[in-house]
């Protein structure tokens, strides 16, 4: 298959991602950090923690939407190159004021794909997430679950090496959550490294290969999923798993 | 009340009889204002997008100045353009004074801040909505501005129409730089001013009604052509 110019070059890998003493501060207040962490080439990482713990800030920091106030964040390649191989799905998907297919085709178009080719690929991507019937609709006409599927199709269309997701299933019903999880498992099976925030412990157990537990802006625990769920190392993580209220 | 009624009758008569003077003046009014609006939009819309996306030290000051320039007195603009284009002025060699081109230049100066300011308001809100997504998608600043302009095109059409509305009704600047010369630079507004000065109120009102009809007609035509209302629920 001929390599398309609008798709990022796959070699060398942008991973691992290393955070060393990374902090995010705002107006003198530390939101997260210092965080030391390495994300390897393969994995399905779930980030857990109570509200306000700093999960979203950590995810945004890794993706480059936040700058480290202190410490380092290093990809395996220069940052400019690494950015082209990442994608991010927001908790509340941002829908562009376009049709469904043009929303999904957008990342290809801005990276140089001819519009017709981009639309053809976007139509295929929409079929894979079950939105074939909505291709020519306005994106704003979609339901909550469909919007999140659109956001996923848009994020995956350039075959990112790593995909960040901020509670993609929050406020979705069971059927939509199952569909989203199936899409994520398929993307992971196709080689996409996934890092995802969720509040749903059941979902975390279903999807996680490894877990990061964040509390009060600090990384309290980074462990394989089985180890974490069977016997967390910290009292805070145990309390969180027990459903206790962490203040 | 009688004058208004007579003006209405006069307007209908002018239109029904396809009065040659009226057609010529109306065509010139449209030519000057549509051209000025297109040029002002070509400058003002990207400027609004640039101000929405770029962060620089003097940005707030530039926006404040732009907003203040929306209230630029047309007579002052006319005077400045007159001095620039007059025979002894720096651009006098171009010989543009008392031509439709001079009128277009004056209107571009008046309309550009208005269009840029309205565009900036609309694009600033859309940029707040798109900010994280467009950064995440690794877009260049130019791509961000182009994307905002495209996705806000209906709101921007309103900005351009506001510019057209101000331009078609403008009299002070074009009177000074155009000179209200018959068969050369006379437009509807300057003709109304002339007829009013002569005490010919019915004709002045008739021209006024034609002016209003053109302004409403152009707005409605663009409104329906762009399906603003139908597709507004994005």
pLDDT tens profile B42-83: 999 999 999 999 999 999 999 999 999 998 999 999 999 999
Give the pair of three-digit tokens for residue A79. Answer: 């940052």
What is the nearest CA distance from B126 to chain A, expressed in angstroms?
Answer: 10
Q: Could you count the other beta carbons within 10 Å of the beta carbon of residue B141?
A: 12
Q: Could you count the other beta carbons within 10 Å of the beta carbon of residue A1?
A: 3
What percentage of chain A has pLDDT greater than the value 70?
95
Cα separation, B97 vs B86, in Å, equals 6
What is the nearest CA distance from B217 to chain A, expressed in angstroms?
Answer: 28
| Interface predicted TM-score (ipTM) of this complex, two decimals | 0.90
User: At residue A245, does pLDDT exceed 90?
Assistant: no
Residues of A in contact with B151 (CB under 8 A): 96-98
Closest residue in chain A to residue B132, using alpha carbons only:
A65
The reported pLDDT for the residue numbered A222 is 95
Residues of B in contact with A88 (CB under 8 A): 132, 136
Q: Are B134 and B144 in contact (CB under 8 A)?
A: yes
Q: B132 and A138 in contact by Cβ < 8 A?
A: no
CA angle A69, A70, A75 (to 5 degrees): 95
- Residue range A81-110: mean pLDDT, rounded: 95
The reported pLDDT for the residue numbered A12 is 87
Q: Are A150 and A103 in contact (CB under 8 A)?
A: yes
The reported pLDDT for the residue numbered B154 is 87
The contact set of B with A (CB < 8 A) is 126, 129-130, 132-133, 135-139, 143, 147, 151-152, 231, 233-234
Residues of A in contact with B123 (CB under 8 A): none
- Tell me how far apart the terminal alpha carbons of chain A are, to the nearest angstrom: 54
Q: Where are the domains of chain B?
A: 2-225
Residues of chain A with CATH 3.40.50.300: 17-95+142-242
Give the pair of three-digit tokens for residue A156. Answer: 């995956």
Tens digits of residue pLDDT in B161-220: 999 999 999 999 999 999 999 999 999 999 999 999 998 887 888 889 889 999 999 888
Confidence of residue A171 (pLDDT cuts 50, 70, 90): confident
Tens digits of residue pLDDT in A2-38: 445 566 665 689 999 999 999 999 988 999 989 999 9
Residues of B in contact with A94 (CB under 8 A): 129-130, 132-133
pTM above 0.95, yes or no: no
Q: A97 and B151 in contact by Cβ < 8 A?
A: yes
CA angle A99, A105, A106 (to 5 degrees): 90
What percentage of chain B has pLDDT greater than the value 70?
96
- Residue range B125-139: mean pLDDT, rounded: 96
Residues of A in contact with B135 (CB under 8 A): 64-65
Q: B132 and A84 in contact by Cβ < 8 A?
A: no
Give the pair of three-digit tokens for residue B38. Answer: 């297109």
Residues of A in contact with B129 (CB under 8 A): 94
Residue among B126, B152, B233 whose CB faces A140 most closely: B233
Cα separation, A169 vs A91, in Å, equals 8
Domain A17-95+142-242 has CATH 3.40.190.10: no
User: At residue A207, does pLDDT exceed 60?
Assistant: yes
Confidence of residue B221 (pLDDT cuts 50, 70, 90): confident
The reported pLDDT for the residue numbered A131 is 95
Q: Count how many residues are written for chain A.
A: 247
Residue among B126, B135, B137 whose CB faces A107 most closely: B137
* A171–chain B Cβ distance below 8 A for any pair: no
The reported pLDDT for the residue numbered A243 is 86
Q: Which fold has domain B2-225?
A: MetI-like fold (1.10.3720)
């Amino acid at each position: 298959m001929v390599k398309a110019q609008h798709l990022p070059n796959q070699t060398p890998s942008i991973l691992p991602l290393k955070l060393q003493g990374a902090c995010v501060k705002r107006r003198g207040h530390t939101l997260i950090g210092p965080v030391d962490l390495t994300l390897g080439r393969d994995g399905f990482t779930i980030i857990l923690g109570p509200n306000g713990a700093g999960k979203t800030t950590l995810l945004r920091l890794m993706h480059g939407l936040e700058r480290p106030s202190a410490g380092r964040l290093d990809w395996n390649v220069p940052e400019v190159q690494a950015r082209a191989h990442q994608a991010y799905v927001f908790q509340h998907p941002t829908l562009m004021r376009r049709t469904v297919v043009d929303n999904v085709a957008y990342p290809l178009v801005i990276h140089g794909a001819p519009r017709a080719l981009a639309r053809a690929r976007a139509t295929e991507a929409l079929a894979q997430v079950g939105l074939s019937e909505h291709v020519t609709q306005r994106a704003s006409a979609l339901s909550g679950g469909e919007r999140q599927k659109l956001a996923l199709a848009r994020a995956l269309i350039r075959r990112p090496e790593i995909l960040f997701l901020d509670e993609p299933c929050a406020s979705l019903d069971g059927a939509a959550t199952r569909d989203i999880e199936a899409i994520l498992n398929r993307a992971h099976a196709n080689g996409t490294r996934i890092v995802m925030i969720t509040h749903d412990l059941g979902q975390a157990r279903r999807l996680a290969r490894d877990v990061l537990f964040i509390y009060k802006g600090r990384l309290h625990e980074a462990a394989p999923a089985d180890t974490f769920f069977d016997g967390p190392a910290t009292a805070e993580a145990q309390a969180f798993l027990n459903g206790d209220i962490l203040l | 009340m009688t004058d208004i009624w007579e003006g209405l009758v006069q307007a209908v008569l002018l239109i029904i009889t396809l009065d040659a003077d009226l057609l010529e003046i109306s065509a010139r009014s449209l030519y000057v204002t549509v051209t000025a609006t297109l040029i002002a939009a070509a400058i003002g819309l990207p400027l609004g997008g640039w101000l929405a996306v770029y962060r620089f030290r003097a940005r707030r000051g530039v926006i404040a100045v732009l907003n203040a320039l929306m209230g630029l007195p047309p007579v002052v603009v006319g005077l400045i353009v007159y001095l620039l284009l007059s025979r002894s002025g720096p651009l006098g060699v171009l010989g543009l004074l008392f031509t439709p081109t001079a009128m277009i230049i004056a209107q571009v100066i008046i309309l550009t801040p208005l269009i840029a300011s309205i565009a900036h308001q609309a694009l600033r809100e859309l940029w707040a909505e798109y900010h994280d997504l467009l950064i995440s998608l690794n877009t260049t600043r130019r791509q961000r501005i182009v994307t905002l302009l495209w996705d806000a095109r209906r709101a921007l059409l309103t900005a351009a129409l506001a510019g057209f509305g101000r331009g078609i009704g403008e009299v002070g600047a074009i009177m000074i730089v155009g000179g209200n010369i018959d068969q050369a630079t006379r437009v509807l507004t300057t003709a109304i001013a002339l007829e009013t000065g002569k005490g010919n109120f019915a004709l002045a009102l008739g021209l006024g009604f034609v002016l209003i009809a053109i302004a409403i007609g152009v707005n409605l035509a663009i409104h329906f052509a762009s399906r603003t209302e139908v597709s507004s629920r994005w």
